[in-house]
A and B are shown apart, each in its own frame.
Chain A
């Protein structure tokens, strides 16, 4: 009987843990995607060969933009979101 009563909270905690892990992985996975892209197509990183490159070619480098988006998401969006998930978990448990 006691096991049945505890089963639901355990399932909820596990689900929230999975959610927290998924959110915390989004930023790093995006950064990894940008790095892998840079390795696969190094010519897209004009900073590696900056001579005779125009302003836009030096500023806008797609693999770096992807990595930057991942860093931005991880620091600005995911971090407070994970804290709120923890608060929600604490208030409901």
Chain B
């Protein structure tokens, strides 16, 4: 009954796709229009927090090794801190702009978690390739929210952040448990399915 890892990746990809579309829409219309309805302000922090909560079952049920457990656990915490801090800022309970550091730190921790728990080389299999790619993409994407702390109205920062999230969603959808990547598949990975 337990889903395969690729199924979990696709489900998280759907969450990121919705999140990315929301962020693109926010970048297009601008902050003033986006804040015209209060519930919209909580959307992306709420989804980020929710993804962090959902990472705990992933940690519990997909623990192949200690490093997997540590990576997923720290990732869950980072996403929840990031989402929680942004929710506090949206609500107005947190006022210091330094709380915004939780977003780039949370995203960078997510990237490191991807890289740390993928112990195979890039061309071992598609899953390994995508884990490396997503890890580095996340580390790169963390620069956008970092830049937004200092230039909150930067449309480049907002657009870059949104497009990075959409790119991550696409990468998650590309994931398969055992499949070749650019014609490469290590014999140690096992036989591909479907």
Q: Which residues of A contact B (CB under 8 A)?
A: 19, 22-23, 26-27, 30, 43, 55-57, 60, 62, 65-66, 68-70, 72-73, 77-78, 80-81, 84-85, 87-88
Contact = CB atoms under 8 A, between A and B. Distances in A.
At the interface, is chain A mostly helix, strand, loop or mixed?
Answer: helix
Contact of A43 (B3, B17, B24, B194): B194
A62 B4 contact: no
6 contacts: A19-B28, A23-B29, A56-B4, A69-B18, A72-B18, A87-B36
A69 B29 contact: no
B43 to A, nearest CB: 8
Contact of B21 (A30, A57, A62): A30
Interface in B1-50: 1, 3-4, 7, 10-11, 13-14, 17-18, 21-22, 24-25, 28-29, 32-34, 36-37, 40, 43
Contacts of B22: 73, 77
Given A23-B28, A78-B25, A88-B32, A55 B194 contact: no
Contacts of A22: 28
Nearest to A27: B21
A69 B22 CA distance: 11
